[in-house]
Amino acid sequence: MRVLSGIQPSGSLHLGNYFGMMKKMIEYQERADLFCFIANYHAMTSLRNGKMLAQGTLEAAANFLAMGMDPEKSTFWVQSDLPEVQELTWVLSNFTPMGLLERCHSYKDKVAKGIAANHGLFAYPVLMSADILMFQSNIVPVGKDQKQHVEVTRDIAIRFNNEYGEVFTLPEPEIDEEVATVPGLDGQKMSKSYGNTIDLFLDDKALRKQIMRIVTDATPVAEPKDPDRCNVFQIYRLFLDKEQQDALRRRYLAGGMGYAEVKEELYETVRAFFAPFTERRRELMADREGIRRTLAQGAEKARYVARKTMGKVKKKVGVIY
């Protein structure tokens, strides 16, 4: 079973990305043929700063590798290292009705927010379809907001297959209902676009500062507090097992515990959780050539599959003559 997903390096990765995507990908390595990549061309639709995109790409790679992505067990690469994906995007564009893209919520939401409606933003789902179909993926784990893009991918694949025969595997989106949306500092979905994140691999001072910014209500220290309505609890619980969550819940309900105290504990917990990976991440970032080599090897592995798909596609559509 082939599982594929990608992540955009358009900002620092945060706890939402870790619990919502990275952790699952890293676990999948043990039980599936995992394909995981850094979608840097997709990130261009929101990031127009070459230095930041390049830096974000290396950092995202280092974060994944430090947290346990193993290039021996999986195929891990950067999207732009396989230009074949752009070739496939063009082919698929010819099987993509305008109406299909016009219905995409993600596009409509971004335009409604004031992002310029250019062709890249509009064609974003076609590039994503090429990412998925190129590697004959069976399962595509994504957040709820990306489900429609996987449906678009299936639609495009069906249209192509109907005309040219069974070339593409139809992917299934996998939406993990258990991975509830990780809330940000203000209780909305944690997202780089809301500026409410707790980022991965911050230094102690910066981490502490982000955690202290978590929004809480004005309940006095002595009073009982409602854990289900507390942003600190909602983030803290990601790091706790069931028993530990219940114990913390009891402390909330008993009163006598202030938000400053629980934030301090959360800070120590996050620090301790990432500490074992921090040194590895530092070593990786100190050897950027090493990261580039690892990614280049990943791209070679991915290319092996991409060549096969493109060989078939090109023959079918008639651009091999």
Question: 275: helix, coil or strand?
Answer: helix
Tell me if 89 contacts ligand TRP by CB under 6 A: no
The residue with tokens 């299909």 is: 100
Q: Which is nearer to ligand ADP, 94 or 193 (CB)?
A: 193
Instruction: Pick one of 106, 136, 191, 245: the residue that binds ligand ADP (CB under 6 A).
Output: 191
Contact between 53 and ligand TRP by CB under 6 A: the answer reads no
Active site residue 192: yes
For ligand TRP, the binding residue among 91, 142, 257, 284 (CB under 6 A) is 142
Question: CA torsion sign, 77 to 83 to 84 to 85?
Answer: positive
Catalytic residue among 24, 73, 147, 189: 189
Handedness of CA 66, 69, 73, 74 (dihedral sign): negative
Helices (H), the chain: 15-17, 23-28, 40-43, 50-67, 84-93, 98-102, 105-112, 119-134, 147-164, 204-212, 231-236, 242-254, 259-286, 288-317
For ligand TRP, the binding residue among 3, 39, 88, 270 (CB under 6 A) is 39
| Whether residue 301 lies in the annotated active site | no
Under DSSP, the state recorded for 187 is S
Closest of 5, 79, 68 to residue 39, by C-alpha:
79
Which one among 44, 61, 190, 207 touches ligand ADP, defined by CB under 6 A? 190
Nearer to ligand TRP, 57 or 146 (CB): 146
Judged by CB under 6 A, the chain residues 6 through 45 that form the site for ligand ADP are: 7-8, 16-17, 20-21
Which residues are the active-site residues? 110, 189, 192
Q: Which residues make up the interface to ligand ADP (CB under 6 A)?
A: 7-8, 16-17, 20-21, 142-143, 179, 181-182, 189-193
